[in-house]
Structure 1
Amino acid sequence: MKTGNYNRLWRWHFYAALFIAPLLITLTLSGIGYLFYTNVENKAYDHLFFGKNGTTEKLTIDEGIEKVIEQNKGYSIAKVIVLDDPYNTRLTMTNKDGDQKYVFLDDHNEVIGTQNAKYTFSNMMREIHSSLFVGGTVVNYLVELAACWAIFLLFTGLYMTFKGRAFKKRKNPSKRQKSKKWHALVGTIITIPMIIIIFTGLPWSAFMGNFIYSAAQNHPSIGIPTLKQQPPTSDMSEIPWATRKNKAPSSEGSNEHHGGMTMSDKPNQSAMMSIEQLMDKVDEAHIQKPYSIIYPATEEGVYTVSKGSNTGVTGLDVSPYDEMTSYFDQYNGNLISKVGYEDYGILAKWFTWGIPLHEGHLFGWPNKIINLTVCLSFLLVIFWGMKTWLARKRKGEISAPPVASKGVSVSFILFMVILGLLMPLFGLSLIAVAIVEGIIYLTNKEKKERMAS
């Protein structure tokens, strides 16, 4: 890039940082919180996760579920989460209003306690991180836009560091120069890992995430296998003739981590295979704990038994290689089909590896420590950036970098176009920024012409 671009990039870098710094701080702190949600929940919910009811009588899983339904009128079971010992079994329940609660059963299938799903530590951290606990399309887009502009800040910061020779040794450097040097040094070190963290989180974003997910669905060879998109159906001949025409209940959305399914009630319960019988079939299929069982939504639906690498449920995550989704007939329990990691396309594999890397549990504690270090360093970069600005800021003025005197170069346009194509929402925001910059440029030009005349 030409020398004339330095002021322009500095100016854009400054305004971008000024406007999105509060969002970036919020996202980084909530991301740090989410890094350790399993550790926090294991301590905070110790009784629910590992406690015992104390009753000596042992119930079957189905008797335990019936007891739970009786105690929670208006709610129905949507999912059974079977975890490795010493974790208790967790039931996900919903009502017609979409409210969700978790109920825990001990090893005797007796009720231990209940949680309001909305206010668990993991769900709260995730809601703050993805939608600032407000939700809505506009807020989701705002969060994604902040992530995109963070990448712009990292790239432009890298350019200015080397173009402006920020590491040049100076005799008796001022406080501002010291802050600028630390801002540049740490920013340079964390650029690549921070970009990796941001890009592995974008698949769950509102705009770009939907685009990636649609591409994965529309092109199974590189994305999500058709079998996972369109589950098979159960054998209708297994349904008793007397109940075959009964209307099946409808399913409603769930916020279980980044997706899921919730049913208002089990279809044809008298004809369905019991959960205990299904678990025996799961064992026969050599599917080991932990796994989740999702109820059928209709008479034709199937039991879905899955293992995921990014479930958002303490104790449920598995290695990406072990991720799989299997489908069992709801009437006879036969394993109909199964799709695993090896069947995924390159995009789906990216989801499977990238998201747990972003969340900090892909390779255990080292992953958490690396992510934590990068996040804390990013906060320091923001701090030193603000400190550098405040050191040169004049009282009563914003003290923004000067407007670039030269025209826009081809290299600058090319740089922006590439970033805009890689991050479409960022590209759209550039149009707005360009319009504002154009208005400022024309206004200043007109003032100069008037003064000259």
Structure 2
Amino acid sequence: MNNKNTFNPFRRLHFYAAWFITPLLLTLTLSGIGYLFFNEVENNIYQNEFFGQSDIKSKQSIDEAIKEISDKYPSHQIGKISMMEEPYNHRVTISNDEGDSRYIFLDSNNQIVANQNAKYTYANFMRNFHSSLFTESTFIRYLVELTACWTIFLIVSGIYMTFKKRLLAIKTEQRTNKLKFQKIHAILGLVIALPLVVIVLTGIPWSVFMGSHISKFGQEHPELGRTELRYNPPQSDVNEIPWATRSLDQPTSNHTGHADHHSNATVSINNPNQQSLEFIINKAQNENIVRPFSIVYPSNEQGVFTVSKGSNTGVTGLDVSPYQETTAYFDQYSGKLIARINFDDYGIIGKWFTWGIPLHEGHLFGMANKILNLIVCIAFLAAIVMGFVSWMKKIKPRNMNWPKRTNKTWSIGVIITLLILGILMPLFGLSILIIFIIESIIYYSTKNKNVSAAG
């Protein structure tokens, strides 16, 4: 890098960005830690829902159970059925037009055990907290994404300043109290730099701007992706169909011989021409789709039964290895398998989503993944605290030690670095453009004043 005014803008941007995004960083990190162990937490607090048995000991079919749920909740529609592996109870998701969603749990006899308001389950609560601070606001989600972008910049600029100031070369006896905390801040930043970048990048599928555009690109280039719809970026609580296949056009059922059906009619679970859920479950198992998996009813008369296994469902007991992901489509009338998409069929974007989301959530490789993410989060929190303490140690009476601005043009090195990051992260690029315009105005106005004063 050309060192002509490189350190000063990096230092100021690093300092002020840290102050600006720290509140959200703390929120995202703490909520992320809370979400890491949602499986373990829910297994303990929802023991009756997950593992309990109904007082009714007689066995009924899964179709009879669906009919019972439909009768009990007439204002709700059946969304999906999650067929769980023992010892978990099966889960039926229902919702109404007002946005109320509930989980209905069925025991081994397919009898109703309990129900939950989906919005207030621990996993969904923490996910909503992490993604939008409970607001479900698009604006807040933009801020979350912008925070993630600036976190990447903090890492890049922090590494540069660490070596530029030769913090690691400072001997113990030479360390002042303020440099001690600054050095700890720098070391922690270096240690967690790579895993933190990975965690941030694997959170991109949820982002409102970059996530949607990457998904759109993957959809427009199926050899690379088959990802989420353009305006609905991936979120682990939206659907249990794997992210990489959710936006595919579903094949339609062949309803030759069903001329008595009208194309504008809504498919009902009581459609006499439709195969039973039990039949579809058996067909899926015959295709070596073993539990846990989810089933989504046909959305219309030409729709199909969709059976899927996902690595990023966000549902306790339902996640599988990325290599086991599959989405199969069954004709609703004949029950015949029409099409099936496996992990090997995904493009690079689809595979990135499939691996990245469970890695971000902490369950890609079991408890070790959770512990690794937890260590990174704790180290990140410690780095934030050490950075704040090192600044506090520099404060003197009547001097807050704000980074002073050098009235020089930014170096080529700074501009190229910010340009690259801005292209890779458009929201970051937009924010940097605004900062650059403000900096230019200050620079030229100050320069002109100095010229006038000299004249």
- Aligned partners of 2:95 and 2:101 also within 8 Å: yes
Say if 2:447 is the partner of 1:445. Answer: yes
| 1:284 CA drift (Å) | 1.6
Percent of paired sites with the same residue? 47
Structure 2 CA distance for aligned equivalents of residues 450 and 26 of structure 1: 48
Indicate the residue corresponding to 2:413 in structure 1: 411
The aligned counterpart of 2:34 is 33
Which amino acid letter does the alignment assign opposite residue 104 of structure 1?
A: F
**Partner of 1:124: helix, strand, or coil?**
helix
3-state SS of paired residue (2:294): strand
Q: Give the alignment's TM-score, normalised by structure 2.
A: 0.92
CA contact (8 A) 2:2 2:412 kept: no
Report if the CA contact (8 A) 1:102-1:117 is conserved.
yes
The 3 A distance-change label for structure 1 pair 327 and 396 is: farther
Indicate conservation of the 8 Å contact 2:407/2:443, yes or no. no
| Aligned twin of 1:237 | 256
Distance 2:276 2:147 in 1: 47
Q: Distance in 2 between matches of 1:114 and 1:5?
A: 59
Bigger mean CA deviation after superposition, 365-374 or 217-226: 217-226
Q: Secondary structure at the match of 1:236?
A: coil
Shift of 1:137: 2.0
Mapping for residues 22-421 of structure 1, pairs under 5 Å: 22-167=23-168, 168-171=170-173, 173-224=175-226, 229-239=248-258, 241-242=259-260, 244-245=261-262, 247-249=264-266, 266=268, 269-394=271-396, 398-421=400-423
Between the aligned partners of 2:402 and 2:449, the Cα distance in structure 1 is 19
Task: Tell me the distance in 2 between the aligned counterparts of 1:178 and 1:199.
Answer: 31
Q: Secondary structure at the match of 2:289?
A: coil
Q: How far has the Cα of 1:443 moved from its partner?
A: 4.3
Greater mean deviation of Cα atoms: 1-10 or 24-33: 1-10
* Residue 399 (structure 1) shift: 2.9
**What SS does the corresponding residue of 1:269 show, helix, strand or coil?**
coil
Distance in 2 between residues matched to 1:443 and 1:303, nearest whole Å? 66
SS at match of 1:171: helix
Q: CA deviation at 1:63?
A: 1.1
Conservation of the 8 A alpha-carbon contact between 2:107 and 2:113: yes
| Cα displacement (A) at 1:171 | 2.6
Other-structure match for 1:253: none
The Cα shift of 1:426 comes to 0.8
Question: How many aligned residue pairs are there?
Answer: 436
* 1:113-171 CA distance string (max 9 Å, x none): 11111111111111111112112221111100000000000010000000001121153
Cα offset for 1:238? Answer: 4.7
Task: Tell which deviates more after alignment, 298-307 or 407-416.
Answer: 407-416
**What is the RMSD computed on CA atoms of the aligned residues?**
1.9
Q: Using the TM superposition, give the Cα deviation of residue 112 of structure 1 relative to its aligned residue in structure 2, in angstroms.
A: 0.9
Q: Partner residue of 2:230?
A: none
**How big is the shift at 1:103?**
0.6
Asked whether 1:428 is paired with 2:430, we answer yes
Instruction: Look up the match of 2:13.
Output: 12
CA shift for structure 1 position 203: 1.9
Instruction: Give the unaligned 5+ runs of structure 2.
Output: 228-243
Q: More deviation in 171-180 or 109-118? A: 171-180
- 1:402-431 superposed Cα distances (whole Å, 9 cap, x missing partner): 113432221111111111111111111111
Which has the larger displacement, 197-206 or 147-156?
197-206
SS of structure 2 residue aligned to 1:292: strand
TM-score (norm 1): 0.92
Q: For 2:63 and 2:399, locate their aligned partners in 1 and report how far apart those are by CA, in whole Å.
A: 69
How far has the Cα of 1:379 moved from its partner? 0.6
Counterpart AA for 1:2 = N
Using the TM superposition, name which of 5-14 and 391-400 deviates more.
391-400
Q: Deviations over 1:203-259 (max 9, x none)?
A: 2211111111111111111212898611111111253x44x127333xxxxxxxxxx
Q: 2:79, 2:297 within 8 Å by CA — same for their partners in 1?
A: yes
Distance 1:246 1:442 in 2: 67
Indicate how the Cα distance of structure 1 residues 339 and 189 shifts in structure 2: closer, same or farther if over 3 A, else same: same
Q: 1:329 to 1:11 in 2, by over 3 A?
A: same
1:37 to partner: Cα distance: 0.7
1:2/1:400 Cα in 2 relative to 1: closer, same or farther (>3 Å)?
farther
